[in-house]
Amino acid sequence: MSVASGTLYVVATPIGNLEDITMRALRILKEVNLVAAEDTRHSRKLFARYGIETPLISYHDHNEQQRQQELVERLQKGDDIALISDAGTPCIADPGYRLIAACHLAAINVVPIPGPSAVVTALSAAGVSTERFAFENYLPSKAKARQEFLKSVVGEPRTLAFYETPHRLQATLADFESIFGAERMFVVARELTKLHEEFFRGTIAEAVARFTHQPARGELVLILPPEQRRGPKRGMREALRELLYESDLSRREAVKLIASEYGLSSSDVYRESLRLTEEEENDE
């Protein structure tokens, strides 16, 4: 008689305040046969707070491949296992997705136990549009790679969220300022759910000044809302006519400027410039 496989529970844990854990998560952590934790020393603080006596085993980036087979075999023998990270929801900028993929391939049941996530927590209280957003995890630590990545998302229409470390914050903010501009709206969320929780909202230049004079501590979420484009103050034809007949710009230069300002194709603006010239000639 074959033994039914156990279940892998993907359990979210607090990102700071230990009260931010669900009753369901506590029950699961107490009922499973084993908890696979990113750092067992860190997790023991949570276990001590709530009297959880379930055995812990380490599961992190450096032993993921070795542990994966061991955990899958235990699940196949009928053990229930909970996967937790140091803080927040497993697999969101944390190890674990390979184990989950292996469980799906082995027809092992995977059940999410939802709860805190630093990026969602930050976005929920940042006061920016979250109708569409993209989470980009940690930016590259090397300056050149970081700058190249940031340049690749210039013009991104979604709100962008990043994780960052305190010791890299000033260099990262300098790159944001040079690439996105000093007046771009920006949010820095730090120490979420903890005693010194802070949401800084202002321009990138203001963020540079704030965190230069008062360096940040703790984990950080950086949020860059989409650029708010102001509508043109005058009609396109009026602006084009002014450049054609009241400036020293060539037709090509005038067309290029107007196409960029109004978000139009150069060919459409060029045709409009020819119509304006024809109208001017007919009026003479």
The pLDDT tens digits for 116-156 are 999 999 999 999 989 999 999 999 999 999 999 999 999 89
The amino acid sitting at 118 is: A
Radius of gyration, CA atoms only, the chain: 27
CA torsion through residues 266, 267, 268, 270, sign = positive
Contact 94, 137 (CB under 8 A): no
pLDDT in tens, 173-185: 999 999 999 999 9
pTM: 0.77
Give the total residue count for the chain. Answer: 284
Return the amino acid letter for 144.
Answer: K
d(CA 164, CA 168): 7
pLDDT in tens, 69-124: 999 999 999 999 999 999 999 999 888 999 999 999 999 999 999 999 999 999 99
Q: What is the DSSP letter of 139?
A: P
